[in-house]
Amino acid sequence: MQIRGEDLTVAYYADIHVLLDVSMEAPENMITCVIGPNGAGKSTLLKTLFGYLIPRSGKVYLDGRDITTLAAQDRMRLGIGYVDQLHSVFPEMSVDENLELGAWTFRRDRERIGEAKDRVYRQYPVLSERRKVHAGLLSGGEQRMLEIARVLMPDPSLILMDEPSAGLSPKITEEIYGEISRLKEIGKTLLLVDQNLHSAVPRSDYLYVMELGQISARGPTAELGDDLRAIVSDWLSVT
């Protein structure tokens, strides 16, 4: 499954554009990463692709199908998952209950829910061991794993991730990116945005660089090389 945005323009207020004629795609079974400084429009791009925001102009395509006007819940049913930047576990609910929330699209099918939980627990044995523990008692890394596991309940083919390493220690960040790489190995397509270049860039197959709501550079990770270093240096000199 692949997703493509074509000439996307998004504005929150009047004519203040957050995205301006942005075109990009996340090819099937690859890790595509969008990087850029704060305020570049990275998270807005993900929200537009997932359906939280409808563009003023431009189109979103999923495997060639125009899904521009589809609501987020309908995009989930088509096989898109979304991991938000903000931590979203329900702290007073158990790990098991949090996982079941990820199955809302087939919530009346208890057999399917049970099968989905079994599959996810096999992927995340640490969560299986703590399935009755309140999610609020998990470590930050475990909570992030739970958020990813919850998104995997309906077994999406495409996963969008907004700042997957936000607020995590370097050690836990490496664990999360190890999981992102593993998801690719089992056939998932991943599109993520992150400011943690040290972890995100080496694991990405293709990179987009965003600045001021537009794509300023793009290409296979291995080919950007010195160009990427120069771009990052420019960000640091501005900040």
| The amino acid at 115 | E
Which two three-digit tokens encode residue 19? 């995205």
**Nearest CA among 121, 136, 48, 125 for reference residue 91:** 136
**Residue 78: pLDDT band with limits 50, 70, 90:** very high
pLDDT of 14 higher than 80: no
Residue 225: pLDDT above 80? no
Of all helices (H) and strands (E), which one includes residue 100?
helix 95-101
Q: What is the DSSP letter of 85?
A: S
Q: How far is CA 55 from CA 47, 51, 229, in A?
A: 10, 9, 31
Residue-range domains of the chain with CATH: 3-87+156-238 (3.40.50.300)
Task: Read off the pLDDT of residues 109-160 as tens digits, 9 standing for 90 and up.
Answer: 889 999 999 999 999 999 999 999 999 999 888 999 999 999 999 999 999 9
pTM score, two decimals?
A: 0.91
CB 210, CB 40: distance < 8 Å: yes
CA dist 147 and 89 (Å) reads 7
Token look-up 């998004």 returns 10
pLDDT for res 239: 46
The residue length of the chain stands at 239
Q: Please compute the mean of the pLDDT values over residues 63-91 and round it to a whole number.
A: 93
Tens digits of per-residue pLDDT, 160-217? Answer: 999 998 888 888 888 889 999 999 999 999 999 988 888 889 999 999 999 999 999 9
Instruction: From residue 81, give the alpha-carbon distance in Å to each of 84, 156, 214.
Output: 10, 6, 24
pLDDT of 236 strictly over 60: no
Token pair for residue 47? 């929200």
First to last CA, the chain: 37
The residue type of 106 is F
Distance (Å, whole) CA 226 – CA 137: 44
Residue 237 pLDDT level (bands cut at 50, 70, 90)? low
Give the C-alpha separation, 99 to 117, whole Å: 7
The answer to whether 3 and 28 have CB atoms below 8 angstroms apart is: no
Q: Output 104 or 215, whichever has higher pLDDT.
A: 215
Read off the pLDDT of residues 125-137 as tens digits, 9 standing for 90 and up: 999 999 999 999 9
The residue type at 89? V
> pLDDT tens digit string along 20-66?
999 999 999 999 999 998 889 999 999 999 999 999 999 999 999 99
